[in-house]
Amino acid sequence: MEVLYVYLPEHRSTVDLTLDVADTAMTAFGEWFGPYPYDRLTIVDVPDAAVYAGAMEYPTLVTAGPGFFLPGNLSLDGIRTREAVIVHEVGHQWWQSMVAFNEAEEPWLDEGITEYATNRVMSRKYGSDRSFIDIGRMEVGYLDGRRAPYIANPHVSMYGRAWDFDGRTYPIATYDKPLLGLTTLERMLGEEMMLTVLRTFFRRYQFGHPTTEDFRAVAEEVVGEDLSWFFDGLVYGDATLNYAVTALDGSSVTVAREGDLVIATEVLITFCDDSSIVEPWDGIEREVTWTYPGRAVCQAEIDPGRKLLVDLSWIDNGLARRPAMVPWMALVSRWIGALLSVLLSWGGL
């Protein structure tokens, strides 16, 4: 299989990057989901004056360039807009062309699964914490820029026809929330199980026209459990979730759930003698208190593994008797980076 890049003479400097990134994406998607069955993939460069022709997908052909991300054909070292566009559009060869969703009736399927796959490739190639922006000390993952729009407007269902959304809610429903939701699903199920779900779905519906319900049926069949929290809560519904540590009182810890979405999680409780315990929490109760007679609790953290990307606020996930400045500074730095990512990436692919 060959990748053919048709480029303008003034964009000769993009040749090596484009072919390298496309090769990485093709290899990863073939490994994760199933082989690309054609002899060639063509990538077409777009003129500086035709930026909106970039970031488009067709069977066996995609267009490159920063697309909606940056004006003209501007590319900045350390801001991987071109790379993200290439990976995303190549991903549509699997999730739009071979597994042929109805892009107008259920746009979250092709754009959302492709965004999830894009993040996986970007993280594999560049590192999860700096896969989108890597300028000096400013490191931002591809996921980071998708959290801010979702948090600003979380009551948007993924499911819906393209014309049911406006210019503000469409990117949230089809890109931001599906990426966060599918990555949360992966972290809850485990990477291998998630890839098994998608590989099974791909093989069963290659050159078919599956729907959201087909995806749900395959996912629940492969996993062997009810995934209502994902499909009913996030895909079809507008439920939100925010977990918070609300009190540390001597030897007790109180946690609370805000919102109607329920996802099982864990609470890491650290005692003042530096020992710790992990408490499983199903999240069903609105408030839970654990008490440890004779032991002083110094710190508690919900979801210490950061599995729940749809949690609206991570700031209140932890509470400590003594404030720790380093984590706070790191959090502020990531939010600044995420804001920059949003400003650069707002739009579509």
327: left (phi over 0), alpha (psi -120 to 50) or beta: alpha
274: left (phi over 0), alpha (psi -120 to 50) or beta: left
Q: Is the CB of residue 95 less than 8 Å from the CB of residue 31?
A: no
- What average pLDDT does this structure show over 265-281? 97
Confidence of residue 347 (pLDDT cuts 50, 70, 90): very low
Q: Quick one: tokens of 14?
A: 């993009």
At 256 the three-state DSSP class reads strand
Q: Give the C-alpha separation, 317 to 311, whole Å.
A: 9
Amino acid making up residue 50: A
C-alpha distance across the termini of the chain, in Å: 25
CATH number 3.90.79 is the correct assignment for the domain at 244-307: no
CB burial of residue 204 (10 Å; 0-12, 13-18, 19+): middle
Question: In this predicted model, what pLDDT tens digit does every residue of 137-154 receive, in sequence order?
Answer: 888 899 988 899 999 999
Question: In this predicted model, what pLDDT tens digit does every residue of 43-57 receive, in sequence order?
Answer: 999 998 888 888 999
What topology is assigned to 2-238+339-345 in CATH? Neutral Protease; domain 2 (1.10.390)
Kindly report the pTM of this predicted structure: 0.90
Q: Would you kindly state where each structural domain of the chain is located, as residue ranges?
A: 2-238+339-345, 244-307
